[in-house]
A and B are shown apart, each in its own frame.
Chain A
Amino acid sequence: MAELTTILHVDDDEDILEITRMALQLVDTFELHQCSSGSAALEVIDAVNPDLLLLDVMMPEMTGPELWEAVRSRKDSADIPVIFMTAKAENTISSDLRNRGALEVVTKPFDPMTLGAQIRAAWAASQP
């Protein structure tokens, strides 16, 4: 089973970036890289070489799903698994993203004390 160590997190909200950082680096122990836009993420993705992408759905300019499409279209990053985070509570969006291959859709507000465990569980479930 592949190990999950490096996560690239993309969200346009600075405060949520901070909460997530504490959740995944203080409560849990991931190697975390963060960007506040899709274009910034595409610039660093090769250098970071993450095991997992943690993407906000609603972002200006490039949405989470659009960023995912862009990542998938690049040969080097096509297979990186994705977990989405969204404040939109519609079941349809969640199920649509899952159907398209997202490991998990985390609903905001999330609990920073259990976010790491939630990500690890989704990762484990996706492993062959």
Chain B
Amino acid sequence: MPKLKPVTSLSLLLSDVTIAVVLTMLLITWAPEFAALGSKGYFLLFILTSAFVALVTVVSLSFTKPNAAANRVIAARDLAIHLREKALNEHTIVTMSHPNGRVAAVNQNFVDILGYDVDEIVGKKSETFFWDCEEGEFESVRDIVRSGRTWKGTQRLRTKEGCCLTFETTILPRFDDSGRFENSISIRTDVSRAKAQGAEEGRNAVIEALPDEVYLYEPKTYRLTYANENARRRLRLDLEELQRFSILDLLNADEKRRFKDHVAPVLSGEASRAHLEVDHVTGPVEILTHLDEAPDGTRVLVSVVRDTSERKRAEQIRLSSVATVSHELRTPLTSIKGALRLLESGVAGELGPDAARMVTVARRNSDRLLTIVNDILDLEKMSSGETTFQKKEIDLGALLSEAAEANAAFAAECGVRFETEKPEDTAWVWGDPDRLMQVMSNLMSNAAKFSPDGASIRLGIEDRGDVWRVFVSDRGPGIPEAARKTLFDNFTQVADITGKHQQGTGLGLSICREIVSRHRGHIAFETEMGKGSTFYFELGKLESGEVSRPAEQISVA
């Protein structure tokens, strides 16, 4: 029979008596014979049941392990401590430090999170594991803890790999029975992730409030995942509603096609960023798209839509003032050119050979000046939408041959020749033949100017799926890296190292780009230094069903 504590014995006695009373009452209720016995009988019955209950208790206690009841209480307390420690271990790193500041012990989390072996930690100064610390910082913390107070603050520790982690730290002092400072316990919670999250939330708030519209959508399905406030205003959808739509649902058929074309090079990895200008009903916008990776590794397409109406307006003002100036230049140029032309012709009297040469120089440069003025006017008219394009169905192959013929004399002057590769099919497109001829002629004359004597320039048309590509391939010196990005910008010129020709106006390729873009086409080049350059433009194929489309005048917006 185990030895029980007095409290336990008393509680056992009380419970036994209660059970005996209950049993007695049940027996009286169930067996009327006992009721007939009267109060003496009841008492006798109570004694009997008490004895029975006591016997059962003694027997059961004899068969159970010693101190089982007490042990259960202790086990419960241990479990609580264990769970608390486990919880503490899950969330924090715990360090016990000697009064001299050296580490006495750490929990497993310290090892797991910071990546050091226990041997590399124990016995080392705590400072060893800090990312940075100001002079006297440790001493002041130690003084606080030694004085019996708890220190709380933020600390940055260095992992073995050299990363910086931020912790919320609490340092508690421990004293022995005699009140002497024994050691300190530091409990640190890693808040790096929360901090990063906080920074991300800050960034999200900035994106949300941007004046530009920002759209995030899935690369495969184009399904929207996020749109910032200004984007939602355009869509008239809230955050939840917009996630039911693909960004393509918001566009008409033509816009859809253009948008897919715009995104394609980003999706294929051909370009890191794509740019598209659209004349939307609400005003002109530009779209910048790139592929981004979310923190969880999923890829997301990001399109930023920017209102360009202000910029366009400013551009328009600039261009119309340019046009006015250009027009004012043409009147005096009429007199200069006219006078020089008359002098050169000899109608105003014969000139001496030197004078004639000087007049020719002056006349040639006045011609050049006029070309610049005309190019500026041409560009301005196209940009302002004044130019009307007379579009119809045309065969690019026939047009290319015509352009080659028209420029053959110039090629001969440059000592080069054109070799036209005939396409297998008729290359039907919908376009303005005069304007496209202008583009071809410009590319051909550039190629002729920059090719060495005796070189041949390849011209041709390639079937590129949905589009026809017209190319002009020269054997020139190639385009230097520095000029490549701005080649299609106004007044960009590449030095003519052949020295054969006078510089152009620097507007030719800008005009080409403008014309091609008005045909919803694409102009570009490939170049290799010392090998040559290939300039090409691509126009959408005209489907056979479209050939019967009536001739239309497309006014350029």
Contact = CB atoms under 8 A, between A and B. Distances in A.
A109 interface: yes
B341 A108 contact: no
Contacts of B342: 19, 22-23, 26-27, 112-113
B370 interface: yes
Interface string B336-348: 0111011001011
Interface residues of B, number: 21
A89 B377 contact: yes
B331 A13 contact: yes
Interface in B249-289: none
B374 interface: yes
B334 interface: yes
**What does DSSP make chain B's interface, helix, strand, loop or mixed?**
helix
Give the interface centre of A87, A89, A108, A109 by most chain B CB atoms within 10 Å: A109
B341 A113 contact: yes
Nearest to B338: A19
Contact of B333 (A18, A20, A27, A109): A109
Nearest to A108: B334
A46 interface: no
Interface string A1-31: 0000000000001011011101100110000
Interface residues of A, number: 22
Interface in B380-407: 381, 386, 388
Contact of A109 (B347, B348, B370, B377): B370
A88 B331 CA distance: 9
B335 A112 contact: no
B550 to A, nearest CB: 21
A24 B431 CA distance: 40
B330 interface: yes
Give the interface centre of A16, A87, A92 by most chain B CB atoms within 10 Å: A87
A88 B348 contact: no
Contacts of B330: 87, 89, 108-109
B152 interface: no
A17 to B, nearest CB: 10
A18 B339 CA distance: 9
A111 interface: yes
B348 A22 contact: yes
B327 interface: yes
Interface string A75-90: 0000000000001111
B386 A90 contact: yes
A27 B347 contact: yes
Given A89-B377, A111-B341, A112-B342, A22 B347 contact: yes
A15 B335 contact: yes
B374 A109 contact: no
Nearest to B348: A22
A92 B387 CA distance: 9
A109 B334 contact: yes
Given A22-B342, A108-B330, A13 B335 contact: yes
Nearest to B329: A87
Nearest to B374: A89
A91 B334 contact: no
Given A89-B327, A91-B388, A16 B345 contact: no
A44 to B, nearest CB: 24
B455 to A, nearest CB: 33
Given A89-B327, A91-B388, 7 more contacts: A15-B332, A16-B335, A19-B334, A108-B334, A109-B333, A109-B370, A110-B338
Interface of B: 327, 330-335, 337-339, 341-342, 345, 347-348, 370, 374, 377, 381, 386, 388
Closest 7 CB pairs of A and B: A19-B338, A109-B334, A15-B335, A87-B330, A108-B334, A112-B338, A26-B347
13 contacts: A13-B335, A19-B334, A19-B335, A26-B342, A27-B347, A87-B327, A87-B334, A88-B327, A89-B327, A89-B377, A90-B381, A109-B337, A110-B334
